[in-house]
A and B are shown apart, each in its own frame.
Chain A
Amino acid sequence: MGSITTAQFKKGIFIEFRGEPNLMTDMTFVNPGKGSAFVRTKLKSLTSGKVIEFTFKSGESATELDVITREMQFLYKEGDAYVFMDNTSFEQYNIRETLLSDFVKYLRSNDTYQVLVLHDEAVGVRFPKKVWLKVTESSEGIKGNSSAGATKTVETETGAIVTVPLFIKEGDTIGIDPETGSYLERG
């Protein structure tokens, strides 16, 4: 635990905000017209799972929370909890669905993930920049879009719906950015 200033803010850090642990899910600078610099963040409360937006004065300080990363295997989903097992201690940890948000769509059973642990509680997964998943269902429907060309949607083995170029077929493995959910490349 330590005091940091907005200069050390980045996506994915954990800070204490108004007495609660929070995950910073987004961070961007803003300069209002005729004003000094501010740092706009999105903070997800680890207690309630709610996301709020808060704008800090540039240079303002906050308390960073010590979160450690452990390698764990994803086992299964139970209710609104995702159950993981620590690869070294074999201890099981539950992560609530709200803390995983859209990442749940890319979790594959038996795969190993970097799980974030705060005060011996699993609070999230640090996803890689790219996940590789198999396409299990591909519609032939063409979706016209005003800004993009011809695309279609496919479903992956984990149930994620992804917009892809027309050449992607059932059985292909595709790379997806789990952050944005967008298609990156064909494997």
Chain B
Amino acid sequence: MKTWQKLKKNPSLWQQYFIRERVLRAIRLFFENQGFHEVETPILILHPPAESYVEVFETTILDRYRKKTHAYLSTSPEVPLKKLLVAGIGNCFSITKSFRNTEMQSNIHNPEFTMIEWYRIGVPYTEIMKDCEDLLLFIHTYLLRTREASDQQATKDLIYQGAHIDLSKPWERFTVSEVFLKWANVSFEEFLNFDTAKKIATKKGYRVEKDTSWEELYNQVFLNEIESHLGRGKPTILYEFPSSLAALAKTKAADPRVAERFEFYIEGLELGDCYSELTDWKEQEKRFGEELKAIKKSGGTTYEYDKDFIVALQSGLPECSGIAVGVDRLVMLFADTAKIQDTLLFPVEELL
């Protein structure tokens, strides 16, 4: 049965889908109150930000004489927003559809999804941590305030899949190194060495093959032993990621092996990903080159990186920090659904 049919049959289901409009209103109000500009960024683009782990959707632009230009659907609003930051827009955000091919058959991904991305000028990423705390509290309060009379049982606590979540500040903060030690009993210092990481993974019973990468080992330990512990009862901010997993982030001055990147989790669900933005155009061009090489090697869709973005960085991206938060996952959280599909009126599975 399609979602529209389920809704026709059981009108009480609408409530779960109407959470989305209220979450979106709350987000817009939160940023409006702080003087942010909301901008629209293009979905149809010529140069996706080079990221080797993201597969793109391809399309074609035809001119009046049907001359073809290769185009893609945007995977994130990051590059156009940064161009606007260079142009001087100041604090800003975009709520936009983003597209990532192959990301199906999953309770937490839909290949077409909604993202909110915001940037603050002149601040390190620790300020965005505070934004996340404030934003989630704001949405929760807004939802309570605007709830319908029939929702009498809604309580002050946020309840997700049976667990009470305390959103109050400050949230729990752990570095990647700390969680590796705490839950996987692994010294991250040692794990950063690829050969040692292979030994540790093998000993833990993971399969290490010739073409297994360090990133795969890192994520397999993280996903199997750590992720589900994060954000239990209270959101967790996980910060200081290995630099190799943060292509667009600044590295930490005191320790270049880690990058100023954080993610936040609630009940094991990752909701947002933030960096202190890389402002060095040379470093950015180098990293794009490396990512494109990796895409070629893995057989993914190849494209050229956005030279206009490098030109923009050359003219000076102000110091800033930004974050992308999955709106569908926020809706999952506040609508208390286990699957992202249950927040979408037209999930991709119903099209295929």
Contacts and interface: CB of A to CB of B under 8 A. Distances in A.
Given A30-B108, A31-B109, A150 B12 contact: yes
A34 B245 contact: yes
Given A29-B105, A148-B13, A149-B11, A34 B153 contact: no
Interface string B28-54: 000000000000000000000001010
Interface residues of A, number: 28
Contact of A38 (B104, B147, B219, B273): B219
Contact of A28 (B15, B106, B336): B106
A145 B263 contact: no
A165 interface: yes
Given A30-B108, A31-B109, A37 B102 contact: yes
Contacts of B223: 30, 32, 38, 40, 55
B151 interface: yes
Interface in A1-45: 18, 27-38, 40
A76 B153 CA distance: 42
A77 interface: no
Interface string B193-234: 000000000000101000011011011101110011000000
B16 interface: yes
Contacts of A34: 51, 53, 241, 245-247, 273
A20 B51 CA distance: 38
A41 to B, nearest CB: 11
A122 B286 CA distance: 58
Nearest to B242: A34
A140 interface: no
Contacts of A150: 12
A121 interface: no
Contacts of B219: 32, 35-36, 38
B102 A35 contact: no
Interface in A53-95: 53-55, 57, 60
Contacts of A149: 10-12, 15, 150
A114 interface: no
Contacts of B104: 29
Contact of B205 (A18, A57, A145): A18
B185 interface: no
A146 interface: yes
B105 A36 contact: no
Nearest to A40: B223
Given A40-B223, A57-B212, A29 B53 contact: no
A54 B224 contact: yes
A187 interface: no
Contacts of A36: 53, 213, 215-216, 219
A144 interface: yes
A174 to B, nearest CB: 14
A173 interface: no
B154 interface: yes
A147 interface: yes
B270 interface: yes
Interface in B103-153: 103-109, 147, 150-153
Contact of B12 (A29, A32, A40, A151): A151
Contacts of A53: 224, 228
A30 B12 contact: no
Contacts of A18: 205
B23 interface: no
B150 A144 contact: yes
Interface string B4-26: 00000011110110000000000
A32 B336 contact: no
Nearest to B326: A33
29 contacts: A27-B105, A28-B107, A29-B104, A29-B105, A29-B109, A30-B109, A31-B103, A31-B106, A32-B222, A32-B270, A33-B263, A34-B51, A34-B245, A34-B246, A35-B53, A35-B215, A35-B218, A36-B216, A37-B53, A38-B219, A53-B224, A55-B224, A57-B220, A144-B150, A146-B154, A146-B336, A147-B335, A149-B11, A149-B150
Given A30-B106, A34-B241, A60-B207, 20 more contacts: A28-B108, A29-B103, A29-B105, A31-B109, A35-B53, A35-B215, A35-B218, A36-B53, A36-B219, A38-B223, A53-B228, A144-B153, A146-B151, A146-B154, A146-B336, A147-B16, A147-B335, A148-B15, A151-B12, A165-B10
The 7 nearest A-B residue pairs measured at CB = A149-B12, A55-B223, A29-B106, A33-B273, A148-B12, A35-B219, A34-B245
